[in-house]
Amino acid sequence: MDAVYYFAYGSCMSPEDLARDVEEFELIGPALVRGYRLGFTRYSRMRRGGVADLVPDENSVVEGVLYRLPVEQLPALDEREGAPEHYRREHVRVETPDGKVYDDVLTYVVVDKAAEEIPPHADYVQTILRGAEAYLSRPYVEQLRECLRQMAEKKPQGERERPSGKERAAERDRRREATGARRRRRRRVRRRVAIVLRRLVG
């Protein structure tokens, strides 16, 4: 069966998150790519903030997770990454801690990069850190944490995160329940007033 190697550096570093969209894959382990830095150059409505990107930088290194997956899973991976509209396929040279080198490894980079970094949503940050803490080197994880902390501090004061679909649905349910409760209270008041009036008239 034909297979491809795939380098993940964002949310897909977490196998649990990758498995939401890709049914079959093999986790190889930690890896790194040279000549890039980690950036957040695209706003994602689904992720409610900036999402990860590989930005060319000859003096930088990005750590991530290497997978092997059947070529039949590529359409699912493309769809997850929003390729080719939002991300495009890129092939990179990847190294593993034991010295192995993999050429022509698939990864994804943002097509239309924003001029300035876009702070990621807290939920997306936690997904990235879950994979990073499980597989990447401690110095890189600490560097990643500091980078994300600094980006969070740059958010304008009072800026509100865009609610997710579940949050909007829950808010609608709360409003419907509150409206129903008000209507029930008004009906009870009207019934009590009617009873009092009947007693007075009688």
Annotated active-site positions, please? 81
Q: Indicate the helix (H) or strand (E) that contains 41.
A: strand 26-44
Q: Indicate the helix (H) or strand (E) that contains 133.
A: helix 122-135
- For the chain, counts of helices (H) and of strands (E): 5, 5
Q: For the chain, what percentages of helix, strand and coil (3-state, to nearest 5) are there?
A: 40, 35, 25
Q: How many residues does the chain have?
A: 202
Say how far apart CA 30 and CA 135 lie, in whole Å. 6
> Sign of dihedral through CA atoms 184, 186, 189, 194?
negative
Say how far apart CA 127 and CA 130 lie, in whole Å. 5
